[in-house]
A and B are shown apart, each in its own frame.
Chain A
Amino acid sequence: MSAPAAGRYVGQAIQRKEDPRLLTGHGRYVDDIVVPRMLHAAFVRSDLPSARITAIDVSAALGLEGVSAVFTGADLNPGAGTMQPSMMAENPAAVVAPLTPLAADDVRFVGDPVAIVIAESRALAEDAAELVVVDYEPRDAVASMEAALADGAPLVHPELGGNVASDLALPEDPELEAIFASAAHVVTERLVQHRHTPTPMETRGVVASFDPVTDQLEVWLSTQGPHEARRTFARVSGLPEGHVHVRMGDVGGGFGQKFFTPREEQTVVLAAKRLGAPVKWIEDRRENLLAANHARSDVATVSLALDADGHVLAAKLDHLEEAGAWPVGGTGGVGPFVAMLFPGPYRIPRIWWRSRVVWTNTAGRGAYRGPWMFESVAREQMLDVAARATGIDPLELRRRNVVGDDEQPYTMATGMTFSATTSATTLEHAARVIGYDDFRAEQARARAEGRLLGLGIGLYIEPTSTPAATLGVEAATVRVESGGGVTVFLGTAAHGQSIETTMAQVVAEHLGVAYEDVRVVQGDTDRTPFGGGTGGSRTAVIAGNASREAALKVREMVVGVAAHLLEAAPEDLEVHDGVVSVRGTPVRNVSLAAVAAAVHNAGTGLPPDVPRLLEATGRYQTSSPTWSNACHICTVEVDRITGQVEILRYVVSEDCGRMLNPMVVEGQVHGGVVQGIGGVLYEHFVYDEAGNPLTTTFLDYLLPTAAESPRIEIDHVVTDGPNPEGVKGMGEGGAIGSVPAVVNAVADALAQVGATVTEQPITPVRVVEALEAVGA
């Protein structure tokens, strides 16, 4: 394969347009929005995991000077529309929990909002919130999937008749059972990935203002999808979509938590509409940890059957996914995705799976960077389990089973078809960069000294830009302004992805203007075309190709006008850095500014066949995912006394197609890898058996910091993606491959003394207990 050449702008590590304001502390976030007469909201939240509300007394809170209103469910719930995101609200078959703006009859997890207090300041609103007296009749809760599935378990949502939100399975397969019965090797493990929470640096936040004269709702929001938010606010408030205007400024991360429009933001909008005054709600860190959507929490029993040479013959996957009480974006429902993607980049000829989604009295599950990534965690762990059982080296075992770069398109046994991926190549590259054989020798020497080193591989393919519901299309509008500058209007919603930079690179490249002259506008539903939001690794592919198409259309217009001005044939013209010139005769040229002046200056008059508009919209639609892939390999040392894990080296070989900006690609990989490391070694949102959350501050919910981040070595394998721009999505991948790589590295270290670890997080205590269990 040959790497596509970089362009004048596309493919260059250009400095980010976002950096001057963000790096000097001049970003403008939702909390920077100040509106005249603005009030502040605080929620009263349940401190019980399950209870019936018998009375709410708001009189003392209302009596506090400076308090404007205290609303309960009785005030805001009647008349409220559905709170579900578009893809659920418009799907009549969807099973959804009966979500209301505020809990009115029951509370179903600690953090369930019971009332909203609106006051002159947030501090005052919190003072008043303490004075709201809620009488509860406590009930038993189920705080884990095990408890929720037990016979006679209390129901999270009695209306739904059970704690299983969905239960999908393939029919029993006697042929598959026969394969297992006769296979040379069968391995089975129960694998656990624990509960995380996305923890964006900027918590959620909203400012809502309603004008009853014009019936117009203005909302400023920290979001990944302003257009989805607009539809959501229209549904819940009953306003026509055209009467809802959503804007966003800079957003300090989302990781999926802000992809849909959560309950609290909708409730604030309803409160502002009812009150007729602007209301700001900035979520505090405790609320974010307690009540914003959580993530992960998966358990699976997985079996692999292999022949004597280590070829995988068949797999079984019985997967449980915890939805919590009020999952954001549906039932949580990534389970079938986990099963469908489980084979990943390997030939697994036959598979059986079952996937259940379970309600519990905990914070709801939602999207989180690679929502279905448990498939890679489970598969890659099992391959290492199989390697140990068969005595085949884990790299060699993967070589024997990986689908070759030239064997694609390839259809998995689950029916998913992938193409244009390079897993086999990235596996070899990553192994070469880490120095695989040398490390194995070093590991043996360390073992002789009593030290435990380990190496882990995480190989995955990722379906990016998956066209579900509104997510398969994006539009981009490119306009040459009257002075020759270029503005790009996108439906995207950057929250750390450098979209202002990369999309400006694409437009500058294809329109033929200087990067500095291109400005990107996004995050305003009145100014930008509809877009599905930024998430699902979809911007480069979908918005990137829409931007390309729009730029090429405008270029044609520019050339048409310039041809008239230069008295030349359009096909003889070229456009570079804002100058249109005759090919071979560069002195015959006209600037983009002059072209723009000719079009905008009606007095000059243009012949009827010359374009009189320098603006066009491109719209890119995809009907299937664009697959990207990577191989992560890391090496670790496990301290035998303290159980602490030190990452020694970390290597990523990745193929995200043509890179729009390698610096941005590497930044995304770095962030994702650190997030994955954090998830395996540090982050854990813990509930006790009764359903009380135990990790509601950063003292107890441990995020990885710079001190816990290794140097990350990145190898780029560049192959053209299957679209005009040649790109593949890559925002989530770093957080997918890193988890199995780290888990497998620790397991590899421990296996030398016969110890095993199959549950995350891998804490020092868990490592020590694993060592002590085998007397090591």
Chain B
Amino acid sequence: MKAAPFDHHAPETVAEAAALLAEFGDEAKVLAGGQSLLPLLSLRLTRFEHLVDVHRVVELHGITRTDDALRIGAATLQAEAEHDAVVAGAVPLLARALPHIGHFQIRNRGTVGGSLAHADPASELPTVALTLGATFEAASVRGTREIAADDFFTGTWSTALAEDEILVGTRFPVWAGRTGYGFAEVARRHGDFALAGVAAAVALDADDRITRVAVGMLGVGATPVRVGAAEAALVGTVPDGAALAEAARAGMAALDPADDLHATAAYRRRVGAHLMETALGAAIEEARRG
């Protein structure tokens, strides 16, 4: 399992990286932590003539908070974000989801931006980004632009990033008021890709009425998905257990999970509904305490 030959480039600025991507087009790929790309290269399931290794690009690292957003540089390690108090305070859903990514050894190498740009439909960070409506910052020699999460994930392992674009950072909205968050997933073993998983966020008014709710799922489609049917069933209500179960059932009914080696579509529906109920229940419980 040796990768086919490639040239390794190690730019030190975003501009240099963007120039390399512009020069080599579809023969180039950005290499961040390498936790997904290197196995694919080694198995020769994919190949690129040029790898643009961004780990030396200082401006891609770092976590910053403004009043209404948390910005994470694309090359920030997952482990850094996982253990960062600012992340946990501003976007608790990220802190809940991060420990589910692989094993700690993987998170010590894997980057936040790498996971988002790789866009595996069963991975945690893309689901959180979609659920909270994050904003993606992309750069190329043509300039910079922002991409909304709803537009970012276009298919399995594919995003709205153009061939010559590099993901620079991601801004996650900070929810204010009485909020709560839940994340739950089921995997074959600890650290495996989820068979199904749910990210949920809620905000309540003083009467415990849901004023805002976001539910996203992983492992049940070609991309991470928002579960609009569940959100619609819950917003403006003070749900009891039965109402939560019904919202989860309605949410799952609108989705179309697939069979694969490790789980059937029917299994994903059953477990997905259960996880949605669990994650939403935890989020509401937390918000009510707050």
Contact = CB atoms under 8 A, between A and B. Distances in A.
B261 A700 contact: yes
Nearest to A708: B189
A702 interface: yes
Contacts of A624: none
A286 B1 contact: yes
Interface string B189-219: 1111101000000000000000000000000
B252 to A, nearest CB: 13
B157 interface: no
Interface in A736-776: 763-765, 768
A469 interface: no
A682 interface: yes
Given A641-B274, A702-B189, A764-B267, A127 B261 contact: no
Interface string B1-17: 11111000000000000
B202 to A, nearest CB: 22
Given A641-B270, A642-B274, A768-B270, A126 B2 contact: yes
A711 to B, nearest CB: 16
Interface string A625-647: 00000000000000001111000
A284 B43 CA distance: 10
Contact of B190 (A126, A695, A708, A765): A708
Contact of B4 (A127, A642, A699, A704): A127
A642 B261 contact: no
Interface in B216-242: none
A116 to B, nearest CB: 16
A630 B195 CA distance: 37
Contacts of B263: 764-765
A764 B267 CA distance: 9
Contacts of A644: 186
A642 B189 contact: no
B192 A286 contact: no
Nearest to A286: B1
Given A641-B274, A705-B189, A764-B195, A123 B261 contact: no
A122 B274 contact: no
B83 interface: no
Nearest to B273: A641
A625 to B, nearest CB: 36
Interface in A692-712: 694-695, 697, 699-700, 702, 704-705, 707-708
B271 A641 contact: yes
A764 to B, nearest CB: 7
Contacts of B192: 702
A66 B129 CA distance: 48
A697 B189 contact: no
A765 B1 contact: no
- Max chain A C-beta neighbours (<10 A), residue from B191, B193, B263: B263
Contacts of A286: 1, 43
B108 interface: no
Interface string A279-318: 0000011100000000000000000000000000000000
B261 A284 contact: no
B23 to A, nearest CB: 24
B2 A123 contact: yes
Contacts of A708: 189-190
B46 interface: no
Interface in B233-290: 261-264, 267, 270-271, 274
Contacts of A768: 267, 270
B194 to A, nearest CB: 12
B188 interface: yes
B44 interface: yes
Interface residues of A, number: 28
B271 A285 contact: no
Contacts of A127: 4-5
Contacts of A122: 2
A130 interface: yes
Interface in B1-40: 1-5, 39
Interface in A598-626: none
A686 interface: yes
A764 B270 CA distance: 12
A642 B269 CA distance: 11
A643 B190 CA distance: 15
A625 B267 CA distance: 47
Contact of A707 (B3, B189, B193, B271): B189
A689 to B, nearest CB: 14
Contacts of B191: 705, 707
Contacts of B5: 123, 127
A122 B1 CA distance: 9
A705 B4 CA distance: 31
B261 A285 contact: no
Interface string B175-193: 0000000000010111111
B99 to A, nearest CB: 13
Contacts of B190: 705, 707-708
Interface in A103-148: 122-123, 126-127, 130
A145 B189 CA distance: 30
B289 to A, nearest CB: 25
A686 B190 CA distance: 21
A192 B188 CA distance: 21
B37 to A, nearest CB: 14
Contacts of B186: 642, 644, 764
Contacts of B2: 122-123, 126
A625 B1 CA distance: 42
Contacts of B262: 700, 763, 765
A161 to B, nearest CB: 35
Interface in A635-669: 641-644
Interface string B32-73: 000000010001100000000000000000000000000000
B66 to A, nearest CB: 38
Contacts of A123: 2-3, 5
B19 to A, nearest CB: 28
A700 B43 CA distance: 14
A127 B190 CA distance: 35
Contacts of B267: 643, 764-765, 768
Given A122-B2, A700-B261, A764 B188 contact: yes
Contacts of A686: 261
Given A765-B263, A768-B267, A285 B1 contact: yes
B188 A702 contact: yes
Given A127-B4, A127-B5, A768-B267, A682 B43 contact: no
B53 to A, nearest CB: 18
Nearest to B2: A123
- Max chain A C-beta neighbours (<10 A), residue from B186, B188, B192, B274: B188
Nearest to B190: A707
Nearest to B271: A642
B35 to A, nearest CB: 12
A694 B261 contact: yes
Contacts of B270: 641, 768
B24 to A, nearest CB: 20
B265 to A, nearest CB: 10
Interface in A355-372: none
A768 B2 CA distance: 40
24 contacts: A127-B5, A130-B44, A286-B1, A641-B274, A642-B186, A642-B271, A682-B188, A682-B189, A686-B261, A695-B261, A699-B39, A702-B189, A702-B192, A705-B189, A707-B190, A707-B191, A708-B189, A763-B262, A764-B195, A764-B263, A764-B267, A764-B271, A765-B262, A768-B270
Query: Lowest 5 A-B CB distances belong to which pairs?
Result: A123-B2, A707-B190, A284-B1, A641-B274, A765-B267
Interface of B: 1-5, 39, 43-44, 186, 188-193, 195, 261-264, 267, 270-271, 274
Given A682-B189, A708-B189, A764-B188, 16 more contacts: A123-B2, A123-B5, A286-B43, A641-B270, A641-B274, A642-B186, A697-B39, A699-B39, A704-B189, A705-B191, A707-B190, A763-B188, A764-B195, A764-B267, A768-B267, A768-B270
